[in-house]
Chain A
Amino acid sequence: MTIKLTIMDQMAQVAREHGRTLAPLRDDLVLLDSGLDSLGFAVLVARLEDRLGIDPFTASEDAAFPQTLGDLVKVYENGAR
């Protein structure tokens, strides 16, 4: 599974567990409008570390906060290099 698909899969998983409805996932979707709240994103980062073996935010203190889904995917793709 690509990094992008893994992220989308895990977003759906976390939304299900937290009883949230996920907005249609597109690159320009603003993350704060996706249906996940802060806690949802916190869990997502932990799950992605489990699946992808990286936490790009903690690995690099320069990682900027992503605002869109496209930004988020890029942070993980750059972190995986």
Chain B
Amino acid sequence: MARAEARALRHRIANASSFFFDRSAEVAIGHLAGGTSLDGKLAQLAGRSVLLAASGQLGAAPALVELDGVARRVVILPPDVDPAHLAELAATAETDAVVVDVATPPHAAFDLPLRVEVTPVITAMPETPAAVCRTEWVLLTSGTTGVPKMVAHDLSTLTAPIGAGRRLDGPVVWGTFYDIRRYGGLQIFLRAVVGGASLVLSHSGEPVAEHLQRLGRHQVTHLSGTPSHWRRALMSPAIKQISPRYVRLSGEIADQAILDNLKAAFPEAAVGHAYASTEAGVAFEVNDGLAGFPAEFVEHERDGVEMKVVDGALRIRSPRIASGYVGAGQPALTDRDGFVDTGDMLERDGERYLFAGRRGGIINIGGLKVHPEEVEAVINRHPQVRMSLVRPKKNPVTGSIVIADVVLRSDIPGADELSRVKTDILKLCHGALPRHKVPAAISIVPALDVAATGKLSRRHG
């Protein structure tokens, strides 16, 4: 590994006059090279396993710059982590310190031997932290139910994709619709710090129009989000406030419609989509304006990334993949040959591979995952239902949406009774499931396909 790779993030700050911008405050990134946001306690965090529990991104951002090379491990809590899981996460990661900000809500899991408050005010460093160590950056998976898995990266796996992508001339201001405490947002955070750019942070709950106005005010040049983020932005008249030179999509399947719509909205911009996951890291970027990716990506190693298709699913091996899951008894992150099985299904169309959803039928609704079986179990509780099949349907707003085919115990009734049964099933679902798991539409069908295995046939176009 190159010597430069071993340097801590604070020594890789590329521009002394760049900023992290929040709604109401800002942090000068350059001041972090010799200053601290951690109340003079950075040296006390040396060698510790730190729970990063800042409530806002403007607290998390400087803390991440400072903790790299100092803490043994940093567990980056995303904003939507279920408080019920905090104790187990903290115990598994053997945390012995917590970094909070002024708005972090109290929680028993934060009662650790050392508590440090991060502020957006940078002060001179009282003492230089001890010897530099290789810090483990721990990200949480956005799983379906249960305790999220903790995925361990370090600065070299996280920054390995940077620089391989497209470079544009001129000053750069990054923006992202993501939170920087998720893999997609963290990539943008690191691109800003090591690439010498300012970064306009998103703010949870901020109306789309206000966020776009803020991005426009800072003259954002590079903007990243999921296809769902972008579809929502395109629905806002405030989209006219921004004119980025680079538009980036990741995190979900980018279909041709969203790529074409973005090209039409920003004719001067380069529009690219990236494939990444928390475990596998960024695998590739596609900049030709077309959905899917060229088949040659699989046939030839590119920038150290090797890909193969096994039983229809994408597997990835590269210097960008995580080192493993944190905690005993976790499954291996890679197969025997070091490849991550992404579970993303591919279909070949001539010289192109297109994404065909998740293995096992898991449905992605604008970034939220749904197991069809979980929804079927609720529908099947209805006394008039014999069986049901929950499947994804393509949707222009969220990429996919949940729909259900239902077989009744009796013959298909008349129109009035049919409508009553459907409403009844929907009510049952609304009472038992979060909104994104409730079917958008229910079809009453005479029968469902059952495969030779005796299981419901889940192959759908």
Give the interface of A toward B (CB within 8 A).
17-18, 30-32, 38-39, 41-43, 45-47, 49-50, 55, 57-58, 61-68
Q: Are A46 and B401 in contact (CB under 8 A)?
A: yes
> Top 3 nearest A-B pairs by Cβ distance?
A57-B396, A46-B440, A65-B234
Q: Which of B209, B257, B403, B435 contacts A57 (CB 8 A)?
A: B257
CA distance A31 to B235 in the complex (A): 7
Q: How far is the CB of B442 from chain A (nearest CB, A)?
A: 9
Interface residues of B in 205-231 (CB under 8 A from A): 207-209, 228, 231
Q: Are A39 and B207 in contact (CB under 8 A)?
A: no
- Contact (A65, B401) CB under 8 Å given A17-B426, A32-B208, A50-B441: no
Q: Are B401 and A43 in contact (CB under 8 A)?
A: yes
Q: How far is the CB of A16 from chain B (nearest CB, A)?
A: 10
Q: Are A61 and B395 in contact (CB under 8 A)?
A: no
Q: Count chain B residues whose beta carbon lies closer than 8 angstroms to a beta carbon of A.
A: 32
CA distance A3 to B424 in the complex (A): 26
Contacts of A38 in B (CB 8 A): 228, 231-232, 366, 397-398
> Please, could you name 21 A-B residue pairs with CB atoms under 8 Å apart, sorted by A?
A18-B435, A30-B209, A30-B236, A38-B228, A39-B397, A39-B436, A41-B235, A42-B365, A42-B366, A42-B395, A45-B395, A46-B393, A46-B403, A46-B440, A50-B441, A58-B394, A61-B257, A61-B260, A65-B231, A65-B261, A67-B236
A57-B257, A67-B237 given; name 9 further pairs at CB < 8 Å. Answer: A32-B207, A38-B231, A39-B365, A42-B398, A45-B396, A64-B261, A66-B235, A67-B235, A67-B236
Contacts of A58 in B (CB 8 A): 257, 394, 396
CA distance A47 to B439 in the complex (A): 10
Q: Are A61 and B228 in contact (CB under 8 A)?
A: no
Residue of B nearest to A66 (CB): B235
CA distance A42 to B256 in the complex (A): 18
Binary contact track B425-438/A, C-beta < 8 Å → 1, others 0: 01000100001101
Query: Does B264 interact with chain A (Cβ within 8 Å)?
Result: yes
Residue of A nearest to B259 (CB): A61
CA distance A66 to B237 in the complex (A): 9
Contacts of A41 in B (CB 8 A): 235, 397
Binary contact track B167-210/A, C-beta < 8 Å → 1, others 0: 00000000000000000000000000000000000000001110
Residue of A nearest to B396 (CB): A57
Residue of B nearest to A37 (CB): B232
- Contact (A65, B235) CB under 8 Å given A38-B398, A39-B435: yes
Interface residues of B in 224-277 (CB under 8 A from A): 228, 231-232, 234-237, 256-257, 260-261, 264
Contacts of A49 in B (CB 8 A): 441
Q: How far is the CB of B78 from chain A (nearest CB, A)?
A: 19
Contacts of B430 in A (CB 8 A): 17
Q: Are A47 and B441 in contact (CB under 8 A)?
A: yes
- Contact (A32, B236) CB under 8 Å given A17-B430, A65-B261: yes
Binary contact track B376-391/A, C-beta < 8 Å → 1, others 0: 0000000000000000
Contacts of A18 in B (CB 8 A): 435
Residue of B nearest to A71 (CB): B235
Q: Are A30 and B441 in contact (CB under 8 A)?
A: no
Residue of A nearest to B232 (CB): A38
Q: Are A32 and B209 in contact (CB under 8 A)?
A: yes
Interface residues of B in 394-428 (CB under 8 A from A): 394-398, 401, 403, 426
- Contact (A64, B397) CB under 8 Å given A17-B426, A32-B207, A47-B441: no
Contacts of B209 in A (CB 8 A): 30, 32
CA distance A5 to B438 in the complex (A): 25
CA distance A62 to B436 in the complex (A): 27
Contacts of B403 in A (CB 8 A): 46
